[in-house]
Amino acid sequence: LQTDAVFICISGVFGDEMKSVSVTEGDSITLNTDIKVQSKDMLLWMFGRQETRIAEIYNQNIFMYESNESFGDRLQMDNQTGSLTIRNIRTEHSGLYKLLILSNRENSYKRFSVIVYARLPVPVITANSSKCSSSGSLGQNCSLWCSVVNVSAVTLSWYKGNSLLSSISVSDLSISLSLPLEVEYQEKNTYSCVINNPIRNQTKHLNITQFCQTCAEVSEHFYFVSLISVCVLLLISSCVFYCCCRKCEQEKPEDKYYDN
């Protein structure tokens, strides 16, 4: 439904300071009015710099505007308070929300700055597979990378215990990030890679023994994998040979003997 109400030259409108709200994509938020709607009050919610109308209460009736199709059926307005709830919010819903309140008591407005952050991926740790240590002794380094793809407004960091080792940040662009790390073979320190934005974080802990192997360990692993592969192939070949032999025996004509 739409209302035909038009506001022309409203004087004596008072506003308060802007409230900032941060939320993760897919969650729901409620922009609270902190008032109780009276029977003759009019409340109008607007979105964006163009102040596009999205919802309104007048004479305790709720009107939802369809001028901004990106919201779909995500909007819900409380008829007691005029508070606006946005369900399953998306990044395109970031921006300025303005509430205009017209009543017999006074005219006022409230402003909300909403920032919607994309959900954070779990960082991926990889090792430089082209290098391995001949002995794995202390003093020799293992090269690692921590990576994330298609991220924006985040910081990617390496931690040693609770101490920050290095970090890299990206602002608005949706790009891929990678951060290197050098660790020693056989060391016992704990490392973790963390991606975070102002409201959330995701952590991937490093298992050094999983990623940093000596050349002997790599060769041993390759040997066992090769051995298992050969055994599987031999088993399959044996099964095929056995099945073929059985089939040949079943198809072989039986000998017939006749008495003279």
> CA 234, CA 248: separation in Å to the nearest integer?
21
- pLDDT classification of 7: cutoffs 50, 70, 90: very low
Question: What's the pLDDT score for residue 173?
Answer: 77
- pLDDT classification of 131: cutoffs 50, 70, 90: low
> Which residues of the chain does CATH 2.60.40.10 include?
13-117, 124-215
168 beta partners: 156
Please compute the mean of the pLDDT values over residues 218-231 and round it to a whole number.
Answer: 54
Cβ contacts of 26 within 8 Å, gap of 6 or more: 88, 89, 119
If one compares 15 and 236, the residue with the highest pLDDT of the two is 236
Question: pTM score, two decimals?
Answer: 0.69
Reported as a single tens digit per residue, the pLDDT across 29-75 is 999 999 999 888 999 999 999 999 999 999 889 999 977 688 988 99
Q: Are strands 19-24 and 107-117 parallel, antiparallel or unpaired?
A: parallel
If one compares 17 and 220, the residue with the highest pLDDT of the two is 17
If one compares 130 and 239, the residue with the highest pLDDT of the two is 239
Q: Which CATH number fits domain 124-215: 2.70.98.70, 3.50.50.60, 2.40.50.140, 2.60.40.10?
A: 2.60.40.10
Q: Extract the tokens encoding 91.
A: 């990044």
Question: What's the pLDDT score for residue 227?
Answer: 57
> CA 162, CA 114: separation in Å to the nearest integer?
32
Q: Name the CATH topology of 13-117.
A: Immunoglobulin-like (2.60.40)
Q: Extract the tokens encoding 115.
A: 């920032």
